[in-house]
């Protein structure tokens, strides 16, 4: 990770192609050849060749009137294979959509991968004008997110050490947990009460509650969060809706074969 492989074992075209794809996707707006080539510092004929290839393959569409290139939906199709192949998303998406719709807030499902949090399903709340910046595929630190901390409660001491060694405990806001001691204490609390908060620890202004999702192995395999602006996500809000939120998480666990202990 981070260490670049020797030149002979990788491929420059890949980098170029992906940077074009990323530019077109993130920008969201159709772009002219010149815009693309100058933004990426490609010679225009180089950019053109990549764009032609992308178009031939159906990923990009060139509007003949404006001469602008834009993404087609083909990449969404590819992506849907990836997200659909994960059993948990099939199982969890229904309950999550319902919860999001009922609360009018953003509900996320995240897993851990390589000591990071990966959001695998995000359902934006229709209520908010400022929609959350959470999106499917987004990577986030474990120690500074509600879902991350919940996932960490199921890590062994050794795994937590590895996580810290590999990823560190980066400071994001004045609330970020940046020492191992603090983190272990927090994990104890979350373990005991069965849910955790992110009190603007990653992003000032954003607060969430996060709960564990378990499967038949009894292990925490994912975490679900309800996220929103700190002013709205008050303790009161969570108190009022806790039962509904908890019921949703438990429903997902149950569908994954988790047998609740009593």
Partner DNA sequence: ATGAATATTTTAATTATTGAAATATAATAT
Partner DNA sequence: ATATTATATTTCAATAATTAAAATATTCAT
Residues that bind DNA (CB under 7 A): 5-6, 8-13, 16, 32-34, 42-46, 48-49, 65-67
Identity of the residue, 51 or 252, whose beta carbon is nearer to DNA in the bound complex: 51
258 binds, among a copy of itself, DNA, none (CB under 5 to 8 A by kind): none
Q: For a copy of itself, which stretch binds (CB under 8 A), given 90-98, 157-165, 170-178, 200-208?
A: 90-98
- If you count DSSP H runs as helices and E runs as strands, how many of each does the chain have, helices first? 9, 9
28 binds, among a copy of itself, DNA, none (CB under 5 to 8 A by kind): a copy of itself
44 binds, among a copy of itself, DNA, none (CB under 5 to 8 A by kind): DNA
Per-position x/- string for 65-84, each x denoting binding to a copy of itself as judged by CB under 8 A, each - no binding: ------xxxxxxxxxxxxxx
In angstroms, what is the minimal distance from the CB of 9 to DNA?
A: 4
Query: Angle 209-214-217 (CA atoms, 0-180°, nearest 5)?
Result: 160
Chain residues 129-188 in contact with a copy of itself, contact rule CB under 8 A: 135-139
Give 67-118 as a DSSP string: -EEEE-THHHHHHHHHHHHSHHHHHHHHHHHHHHHHHTSEEEEEEEETTEEE
Token digits for 225? Answer: 């969060």
Conformation bin of residue 20: beta by default, left when phi > 0, alpha when psi is -120 to 50: alpha
Report the distance separating Cα 193 and Cα 186, nearest Å: 11
Per-position x/- string for 33-62, each x denoting binding to a copy of itself as judged by CB under 8 A, each - no binding: ---------------xxx-xxx-xxxx-x-
80 binds, among a copy of itself, DNA, none (CB under 5 to 8 A by kind): a copy of itself
Conformation bin of residue 222: beta by default, left when phi > 0, alpha when psi is -120 to 50: beta
With binding defined as CB under 8 A, does residue 109 bind a copy of itself? no
Q: Which of 21, 33, 40, 230 touches a copy of itself (CB under 8 A)?
A: 21
In angstroms, what is the minimal distance from the CB of 191 to a copy of itself?
A: 27
Which residues lie across from 32 on neighbouring strands? 68
In angstroms, what is the minimal distance from the CB of 6 to DNA?
A: 5
* Three-class SS state of 37: helix
> CA 247 → CA 225, 241, 257, distances in Å?
13, 10, 15
* Three-class SS state of 170: coil
Report the distance separating Cα 122 and Cα 136, nearest Å: 6
> Using CB under 8 A as the criterion, which residues of the chain lie in contact with a copy of itself when the complex forms?
4-5, 8-11, 13-15, 17-18, 21-22, 25-26, 28-29, 48-50, 52-54, 56-59, 61, 71-85, 90, 94, 97-98, 101, 113-114, 118-120, 122, 124, 126, 135-139
């Amino acid at each position: 990770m981070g260490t670049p492989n020797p030149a002979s074992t990788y491929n420059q075209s890949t980098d170029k192609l992906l940077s074009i794809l990323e530019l077109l996707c993130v920008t969201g707006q159709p772009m002219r050849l010149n815009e693309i080539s100058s933004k990426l510092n490609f010679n225009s004929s180089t950019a053109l060749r990549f764009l032609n290839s992308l178009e031939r393959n159906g990923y990009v569409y060139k509007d003949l009137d404006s001469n602008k290139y834009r993404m087609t939906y083909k990449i969404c199709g590819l992506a849907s294979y990836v997200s659909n192949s994960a059993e948990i998303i099939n199982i969890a998406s229904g309950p999550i959509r319902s919860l999001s719709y009922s609360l009018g807030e953003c509900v996320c499902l995240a897993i851990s991968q390589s000591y990071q949090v990966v959001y695998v399903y995000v359902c934006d709340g229709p209520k908010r004008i400022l929609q959350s910046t959470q999106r499917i595929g987004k990577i986030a630190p474990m120690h500074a997110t509600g879902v991350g901390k919940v996932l960490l409660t199921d890590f062994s001491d050794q795994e937590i050490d590895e996580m810290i060694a590999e990823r560190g405990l980066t400071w994001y806001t004045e609330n970020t947990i940046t020492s191992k001691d603090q983190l272990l204490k927090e994990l104890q609390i979350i373990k005991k009460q069965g849910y955790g908060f992110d009190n603007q620890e990653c992003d000032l202004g954003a607060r969430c509650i996060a709960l564990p999702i378990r499967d038949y192995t009894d292990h925490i395999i994912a975490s679900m969060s309800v996220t929103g602006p700190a002013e709205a996500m008050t303790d009161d809000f969570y108190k009022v809706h806790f039962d509904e939120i908890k019921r949703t998480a438990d429903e997902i666990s149950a569908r994954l074969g988790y047998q609740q202990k009593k």
